[in-house]
Structure 1
């Protein structure tokens, strides 16, 4: 079931990291300022913001995470510039995640695509300077 946030952010994306836990895989978005997300849901395909290009992802399910924070400042300078936009973090040994890719930042929001093993339950929450998404290992 999709989850949506009720408020907009006023921060900037600075980092994306992942972790493995006993019953879930976690993705964390580090934000300067107020962290916020707009929508997290499973979709048929992930497309880039602004251009609509297809973003290929490994996995049987695709989780679209739309953050309400850009990855660039007001002057257009990047605040998050990964070495590889198709592999933001290495998740090859994870139980649930298969791939994490950047789908772009446009008009105050950033979209991240996560290739997932299957349509598994997830939860979304914010912490100080972070948006966190946990995806369960099982149903």
Structure 2
């Protein structure tokens, strides 16, 4: 999954946290957000989403994504903004290894297809 963060560089990346979670929720309210898949990766980054480009509400699927042809990704839901961070729940088929890379203007979450 590639998240575009305009202005981010490898020398000055946005802060981010990427981890498996037992369930995905909106941080301040702890309102559960269902995410399809055998495991859920929570992605949080300290960059706002441009509302003029992406019209998405709390718990909505991320727009423009079609995981029908992917073997690993199952779902992606918007977890809202809180305390300067944007939250995304990424559903994957199983708790597979992953890595995170920072590229100019992008945060990349690369999930393995197998163990």
Provide TM-score, normalisation by structure 2. Answer: 0.83
The residue number in structure 2 matching 1:103 is 79
Take 1:81 and 1:95, find their aligned partners in 2: how far apart are those partners? Answer: 25
Q: Distance in 2 between matches of 1:40 and 1:114?
A: 10
TM-score normalized with structure 1 length? 0.70
Instruction: Sort the Cα spacing of 1:80 and 1:102 in 2 relative to 1 into closer, same or farther, 3 A.
Output: farther
Find the counterpart in structure 2 of residue 33 from structure 1.
7
Task: Work out whether 1:59 is the aligned partner of 2:29.
Answer: no
Larger relative strand fraction: 1
**Aligned-residue offset at 1:67:** 0.9
Q: CA deviation at 1:86?
A: 2.7
**Within 5 A, what are the aligned runs for 1:73-88?**
78=51, 80-82=53-55, 86-88=60-62
Aligned partner of residue 96 in structure 2, secondary structure: coil
Q: Which moved more, 1:54-63 or 1:32-41?
A: 32-41
The runs of 4+ residues in structure 1 deviating greater than 6 Å are: none
Structure scoring higher RCO (CA < 8 A, sep ≥ 6) equals 2
Corresponding position of 2:89: 113
C-alpha contact (below 8 Å) 2:56/2:78 kept by paired residues = no
Q: Structure 1: which 5+ residue stretches go unaligned?
A: 1-26, 73-77
